[in-house]
Amino acid sequence: MVCLKPVRLLWVIHFHQPLGNFPEIYERFVCRSCQPLLAALERHPKIRVALHFSGNLFEFIESHHPALLDQVAERVRLGQVELLGGGFYEPLLNLLPRNDALGQLVELACWISGRFGKEPKGAWLPESVWEPHFAQLLAEAGYQYTFLEDSLFEAAGWKKGELFHPFRTEYAGHPVVVFPIHRSWSRSIPFAPLVETKSAFVQISHRQQPQLVILGHNGALLGFWPQTYERLYEEGGLEAWLGFLEQEKDWLPTVLPEEVFEGSWQLTFLPCGAASQLAPSAMPTSSEVEYREAYGELANRYDADRFLPFFRAANWLGFLAKYPEAYRMYRKMLQLRKQLDELPAIARNRARKALWAAQEHSAYWHCRSGGVYANYLRDAVYQRLLSVEEEIFSFPPGQKVFLAATTLPGSPAKEWMLRTEICSVWVLPSYGGSVCEFSFLPTRYNVANTFCRRQEAYHKELPESRKTPQDWYLRYVFQDHFIPPGTSLEDFRAGSFVEFGDFVNQPYAVKTWALEPQRATLVLERHGGLYWREQRHPLSCQKSYSLHPPASLHVEYQLTNQGKVPIEVWFACELNYTCLAADGSERQLVVGDDRFSCATDFECAEARTWAIQDQTRKFLWEWELGHPAVLWHFGVWTTTLTEGEPERNYQGSSFVVVWPLRLDCGSTERFLLVSRMKKI
């Protein structure tokens, strides 16, 4: 009989659901992932694991499944489970101001200590996102160790075989222990045949130095993702794995991180990085395609291991450059954070909780599915940011309306906010003088929470029939197009129309602004041009925004031909919006006597008024034109991958108001749109 050297197994499981996910998803996650695992641990009390629950998931469980927390507490009391801390709302620490990072780290530690009677020593870092200064943040928040994917250690120069023990790192004299999560082991266990798994453990048991295998699992893998519940619970895969561990416990004991983190571990300094499958997606799409192709070519070489550890992708923050929609949420969060400390204590605490919730990471990035592409996750961020704004903002004495210019952190471009008690309108002069945020305040609903159609690296895998058109501009409200007469709705929807003008995404100048007790006015102007036959035809566009209480926005266009030849085009004012869902009786468009779902493509030849109704947010949005126009409407869809299969995502919809425009030299034409928001 062969005597095997002990191999210790440290198993970490992470449970989280994004804020903004639907209640039924939370419920299903708890019932198919959290509860079955806890029940399995009760049946196998000698199997020891470290568990991480995000703070918002803890709160959901406390409200809906309090008995599950009692189960966790009992496992902790028996020494079978060690709970890990981290940021309360599952933020990425490199997104946060320092005080928020420390605050969230301490908040979850306090919650765990208060509920379970034991303060966590270790912290979970989402997506293995790491920057060297995190060591100081963790240490100052009271944490002694964390866990990161082994690829970050390989990038620092360590060989795969050298990663079966913890490491020590520090920043500015603040030390923390880091456990390398072994990717290949974590991907195969508990799904690989047990014969193969045992063989792998036996193989490393013959090494001279003591070996510690670290498994890091997303809790969704253990029952929530498709087919995993059937494989692990109905077919007995998890029970077999746990039985194997019990049977081999004499040489393959499971340990808790608090038992093994202490020691004179090798010092290392890890580079900035993230999970290896995620980091390439932070690149611009064309570079990501080239990177993944090059990586694939290297991986096929017989000596691939010489190169791949050093073949690194972008910094995670590249997602903010790749997705301006995410970057604007991030900058708005930073702006509100600056104003938070000026609030009285009770309001400050309320606002801080909402701000921290808006820092949950899921809505700020995208790999192949979900993330920033999920409009309901972006909506959850805006809901919380608007609640913070509500705490901070107050009208000057005697005013029912407000107007001010502001510069969001990280950008030189000024934005102008027009606000009443019912709505807020954010105008971006630098981007076509358009409205980038249009919020109904009673239900904290940013109906301009749109998302443009863009090319992604994985779209190469899609059949042509599942690909969507690509946009060349961000989708906002009051975007000014000048298009050829005869352009069709389908041309516009597909993005295959000819754009004569240089107004859609180009800067407007602020001409005048005025604030009166019952009206706020902002007048923008651009001296642009129309281009055809290699000639520029000067055209000025003056756009006046006038907001009246309670929530009436008048937008007047004044178009002047400054050239030497007559102009005959169509002026198309594009109004992008989202009601979050493509269909359903609770969200409808009303045009005359007709009712449509939000994703319906239609054309109305002589439109004067229409309305958007959303019962889910108690919201009515009425529109009126100064004189009739052709009205186009279409849904805006993107395509992502879910479990390798194409999935259409409803992002929002677009109204396009089309007027024929004929201007003689020096002549002017005016157009008026009126928007009214009401609570229903």
Phi/psi region, residue 263 (left: phi>0; alpha: psi -120 to 50; beta: rest), is left
Distance separating alpha carbons of residues 42 and 44, to the nearest angstrom: 5
Residue 80's pLDDT is 98
| Domain stops at, among 337, 358, 393 | 393
pLDDT digits (tens, 9 = 90+) for 621-668: 999 999 999 999 999 999 998 877 889 999 999 999 999 999 999 999
Residue 264's pLDDT is 92
Task: Check whether residue 218 and residue 341 sit in a common domain.
Answer: no
The 3-state DSSP composition of the chain as helix, strand, coil percent (nearest 5) reads: 35, 35, 35
What is the CB neighbour count within 10 angstroms for residue 338?
11
Residue 466's pLDDT is 85
Q: With H, G, I as helix, E, B as strand and everything else as coil, classify residue 415.
A: strand
In the Cβ-directed half-sphere of 90, how many Cα atoms lie within 13 Å? 23
For residue 182, give the CATH number of its domain. Answer: 3.20.110.20
Residues 6+ apart with CB under 8 A from 1: none
Q: With H, G, I as helix, E, B as strand and everything else as coil, classify residue 431.
A: coil
Instruction: Give the range of the structural domain holding residue 489, as residue numbers without chain letter.
Output: 457-679
Mean pLDDT of the chain: 95
Task: Check whether residue 265 and residue 300 sit in a common domain.
Answer: no
pLDDT digits (tens, 9 = 90+) for 213-234: 999 999 999 999 999 999 999 9
Task: Check whether residue 654 and residue 525 sit in a common domain.
Answer: yes
pLDDT digits (tens, 9 = 90+) for 163-181: 999 999 999 999 999 999 9
Alpha carbon separation from 10 to 170, 212, 213, 334, 355 (Å, rounded): 23, 7, 6, 38, 34
Residue 645's pLDDT is 86
Is 434 contained in some domain? no
Residue 490's pLDDT is 96
| 232 in Cβ contact with 190 (< 8 Å) | yes
Residue 464's pLDDT is 85
Task: Check whether residue 191 and residue 308 sit in a common domain.
Answer: no
Task: Check whether residue 343 and residue 227 sit in a common domain.
Answer: no
For residue 494, give the CATH number of its domain. Answer: 2.70.98.10
Question: What's the one-letter identity of residue 182?
Answer: H
First to last CA, the chain: 78
3-state secondary structure 33-79: HHHHHHHHHHHCCCCCEEEEECHHHHHHHHHHCHHHHHHHHHHHHCC
Is 424 contained in some domain? no
Average pLDDT over residues 72-84: 98
Residue 2's pLDDT is 60
Is 443 contained in some domain? no
Average pLDDT over residues 71-94: 98
pLDDT(126) > 90? yes
Is 100 contained in some domain? yes
| Domain stops at, among 363, 393, 423 | 393
| 665 in Cβ contact with 566 (< 8 Å) | yes
Residues 6+ apart with CB under 8 A from 535: none
The alpha carbon of residue 528 and the mean position of all alpha carbons in its chain are separated, in whole angstroms, by: 35
Residue 123's pLDDT is 98
> What percentage of the chain reaches a pLDDT higher than 90?
90
The number of domains in the chain is: 4
Distance separating alpha carbons of residues 7 and 253, to the nearest angstrom: 7
| 475 in Cβ contact with 451 (< 8 Å) | yes
pLDDT digits (tens, 9 = 90+) for 406-464: 988 888 889 999 999 999 999 999 999 999 999 999 999 999 999 999 999 999 888 88
The pLDDT-based confidence of 309 (bands split at 50, 70, 90) is confident
| Domain stops at, among 339, 366, 393 | 393
3-state secondary structure 528-550: EEEEECCEEEEEEEEEEEEEECC
82-91, 345-354, 456-465, 485-494 — which is least confidently predicted? 456-465
Is 408 contained in some domain? no
Task: Check whether residue 385 and residue 257 sit in a common domain.
Answer: no
Q: Burial-class residue 609 by CB neighbours within 10 Å (0-12, 13-18, 19+).
A: middle
Is 407 contained in some domain? no
Average pLDDT over residues 26-42: 97
Task: Check whether residue 271 and residue 350 sit in a common domain.
Answer: no
DSSP secondary structure string, 581-643?
A: -S--TTEEEEETTEEE-TT--EEEEEEEEEEEEEGGGTEEEEEEEEEEEEEEEEEEEEEEEET
Is 420 contained in some domain? no
DSSP lists the bridge partners of residue 548 as: 552
DSSP secondary structure string, 360-383?
A: BGGGG--SSSSGGG-HHHHHHHHH
Residue 487's pLDDT is 97
What is the CB neighbour count within 10 angstroms for residue 339?
14
Is 543 contained in some domain? yes
Task: Check whether residue 568 and residue 666 sit in a common domain.
Answer: yes
Residue 593's pLDDT is 87
| 462 in Cβ contact with 553 (< 8 Å) | no
DSSP for residue 451: -
Alpha carbon separation from 360 to 56, 354, 385 (Å, rounded): 10, 11, 12
Task: Check whether residue 87 and residue 28 sit in a common domain.
Answer: yes
Question: What's the one-letter identity of residue 367?
Answer: C
Say whether pTM exceeds 0.85. yes
Distant-in-sequence contacts of 390-395, Cβ < 8 A, 24+ apart: 390/441, 390/444, 391/343, 391/347, 391/348, 391/350, 391/351, 391/354, 392/336, 392/339, 392/340, 392/342, 392/343, 392/351, 393/419, 395/421
Residue 262's pLDDT is 92
Task: Check whether residue 197 and residue 336 sit in a common domain.
Answer: no
Task: Check whether residue 188 and residue 214 sit in a common domain.
Answer: yes
Task: Check whether residue 357 and residue 494 sit in a common domain.
Answer: no
Residue 611's pLDDT is 96
